[in-house]
Amino acid sequence: MSSPRASLDNFASALGHWVIRWRYLVALACILAALAAASGARFLSFSTDYRVFFDEDNPRVQSYEALQRIYTKTDSVQFVIKPAQGEIVQERILEAVIALTERAWQIPYTTRVDSLSNYQYTSADGDDLTVEDLVQAPGSLTQADLDLIREVSQTEPVIAGRIMSRDGTTTGIVATLQLPDEAALAVPEANAFSVALAQEFRRQYPDLTIAVTGLVPLNNAFNEASVNDLKSLIPLMYGVILAVILISLRTITGTLLTMLVVALSAMIAMGLAGWAGIKLTPPSSIAPTIILTIAVADSVHFLITMLRDMRRGLGKREAIVSSMRVNFAPITLTSATTVIGFLSLNFSESPPFHDLGNMAATGAAAAWILSILLLPALLAMLPVRVKVGRAANNRSIERFANFVIGRHKPILWAMVAATIVFAALIPRNQVNEKFVSYFDESIPFRTDTDFASENLTGIYQIEFSLPAEGDGGISDPAYLERLDAFAQFLREQPNVLHVNSFADVFKRLNMNMNGDDPDFYRLPEGRDLSAQYLLLYEFSLPYGLWLGRQQPDHGRQIGDPPDRHPRRCLHRANARH
């Protein structure tokens, strides 16, 4: 009775003979199957939505989407402007702010643009409430006008620290976008327009630094970084591996066939991903690089054994069968464990890592099949020239092996000590989810966002939806007091740079309706009075600034009349990490 090892060797030898006998059909079948699978690559596309990193049942994603359903979506593009010298509040700079604000309305899918120039400044005129743009006709501004703009930009909680920096040298223009849910080109389209607009104003105002950041540039940066990697890293790796294999194997046929197996393995994995409807993301886009490494290893193992036997005098076909017998079990075992390892990524909570694991596992399986079928079939068909007796022994490897065997105990203990030392450093690893750090400084989004964070405000936001009881509950003085207390609590937290609270609107309205007396910059005392202030103010707001951005919209469209009975409002805190 033969042993399992002998049975496996016999099977591998029989497989080798079978592949050689039917080499033309085997090669044709493998190539046609690979091309059929790879044809699905035409369905691949990049996802530019950061929410793909989370499962649909993720509680934080569900909370975020519920927040957007209640209020409005908050995809945005922010232009950050800083002059080379001086402050923002000077006529020429304000002229640029107004011009860029007006042009920003042309960004695709824009529903609102907020800036220092169109901040809705409220003031009292007898019994009337005046709501108007803070900056008007910069060419005719008086010193009193400039002083008022400077004072408001530093004292109004809505803009101080968000639209205008605390030192008055940097300002922001925020375009809010309503992106369609199923439009893959919407983000690149909006981002391209925004970048071109910033470049236009840089040429027009060379003394201004204009950075572009926000959620739309973030999503686009993920897409651009992945595409750039595919265009640069993969060709570079193929070139390096091609050179290394050619130098190591010293056979053009073997090198080209190895690269063919590598390319087909990656094409199969990417094509099947396309057939499965998988969208590429930054994690899953590195699958071709992983597959390249796996496929090279399988093919090189087979080729090295075959070439070694040919140098020892075996014929090509006998060497193919011998290599199949020697390498079938190791290649199969390593491929199986690799596939299992990558499939374990399906237990990750992030869907892109599911896709990465499945694509890499598919590529590893394809590399295994091609290495034991297509590679030997093509080797049997094509000429492979090897000089008998050349490089039969590698003396440097033998010397190294003898060194390790002769000093195995010291080497063992040295490796154990090194392992303990490095393992002790594991607790120093820290989880860092600052998405800006995902990108190299060569990516414009990274440098622009760093500039915005250093000069204006943080880009990380936390939004709180605070429900009130009953119809019109947000006009309840008790509710407003709790709302204001929570805003004050947030402002006292470390790294918090700006808090936008609806309570601040009530405070300013109360002051306006009492003759702009600063002593009345406090919450109204009566519920009816608060409701009247709110109604008067909301009917005075311009296009796109309805209070559904801080109150629930209940399905209203931009420009629709305001809710008469709002039940909750939104807090937004900006932070720098």
Domain assignment present for 413: no
Domain assignment present for 165: yes
The C-alpha atoms of residue 572 and residue 457 are separated, in whole angstroms, by 13
The C-alpha atoms of residue 52 and residue 140 are separated, in whole angstroms, by 50
Same domain, 144 and 34: no
- pLDDT confidence band for 231 (50 / 70 / 90): confident
- Over residues 62-80, the pLDDT tens digits come to 777 777 777 666 688 999 9
Same domain, 328 and 473: no
- pLDDT confidence band for 126 (50 / 70 / 90): low
Q: Are 358 and 343 in contact (CB under 8 A)?
A: yes
The C-alpha atoms of residue 31 and residue 25 are separated, in whole angstroms, by 10
Same domain, 201 and 234: no
Number of domains observed in the structure of the chain: 3
Q: What is the mean pLDDT of residues 553-560?
A: 34
Q: Are 115 and 172 in contact (CB under 8 A)?
A: yes
- Over residues 406-421, the pLDDT tens digits come to 998 999 999 999 999 9
Domain assignment present for 414: no
pLDDT number for residue 425? 93
Q: Look at residue 155 and tell me whether its pLDDT is greater than 50.
A: yes
The C-alpha atoms of residue 468 and residue 472 are separated, in whole angstroms, by 8
pLDDT number for residue 48? 65
- Over residues 238-264, the pLDDT tens digits come to 788 888 888 877 788 888 899 899 999
Q: What is the DSSP letter of 426?
A: G
Domain assignment present for 407: no
Domain assignment present for 342: yes
User: Which of 148-157, 334-343, 419-428 has the lowest average pLDDT?
Assistant: 148-157
Same domain, 309 and 162: no
436: burial class by Cβ within 10 Å (0-12, 13-18, 19+)?
A: buried
SS3 84: coil
Which has the closest alpha carbon to 332: 369, 306, 363? Answer: 369
Torsion angle defined by CA atoms of residues 487, 488, 492 and 497, in that order, rounded to the nearest 10 degrees? 50
Domain assignment present for 434: no
Q: What is the DSSP letter of 560?
A: P
**CATH number (domain holding residue 32):** 1.20.1640.10
The C-alpha atoms of residue 150 and residue 162 are separated, in whole angstroms, by 14
Task: Name 514's Cβ contacts closer than 8 Å, sequence gap at least 6.
Answer: 124, 520
Q: Which of 154-158, 164-168, 186-190, 422-426 has the highest mean pLDDT?
A: 422-426
User: Within a 10 A sphere around the Cβ of 84, how many other Cβ atoms?
Assistant: 8
Structure tokens at 270: 């990417």
- pLDDT confidence band for 448 (50 / 70 / 90): very high
- pLDDT confidence band for 556 (50 / 70 / 90): very low
Domain assignment present for 426: no
Last-in-domain residue among 366, 392, 418: 392
Torsion angle defined by CA atoms of residues 339, 343, 345 and 347, in that order, rounded to the nearest 10 degrees? -150
Last-in-domain residue among 343, 361, 392: 392
Same domain, 179 and 238: no
Domain enclosing residue 374, as ranges: 4-51+229-392
Same domain, 574 and 505: yes
Amino acid at 272: L
- Over residues 162-207, the pLDDT tens digits come to 889 888 999 999 998 888 866 567 888 899 999 999 999 999 999 9
Same domain, 548 and 496: yes
pLDDT number for residue 392? 45
Which has the closest alpha carbon to 490: 502, 499, 481? Answer: 499
The C-alpha atoms of residue 547 and residue 562 are separated, in whole angstroms, by 7
pLDDT number for residue 198? 94
Last-in-domain residue among 392, 423, 450: 392
Q: What are phi and psi of 443, to 5 degrees?
A: -85, 125
Same domain, 159 and 122: yes
pLDDT number for residue 33? 95
- Over residues 25-37, the pLDDT tens digits come to 999 999 999 999 9
Structure tokens at 13: 């030898």
The C-alpha atoms of residue 470 and residue 566 are separated, in whole angstroms, by 9
Q: What is the DSSP letter of 128?
A: E
Q: Are 152 and 121 in contact (CB under 8 A)?
A: yes
**CATH number (domain holding residue 193):** 3.30.70
442: burial class by Cβ within 10 Å (0-12, 13-18, 19+)?
A: exposed
Domain assignment present for 425: no
pLDDT number for residue 546? 47
Q: What is the DSSP letter of 124?
A: E
Q: What is the DSSP letter of 190?
A: H
- pLDDT confidence band for 3 (50 / 70 / 90): low
Same domain, 135 and 234: no
Same domain, 484 and 516: yes
Structure tokens at 323: 């290599």
Same domain, 166 and 276: no
Same domain, 25 and 80: no
Tell me the whole-structure pTM to 2 decimals.
Answer: 0.72
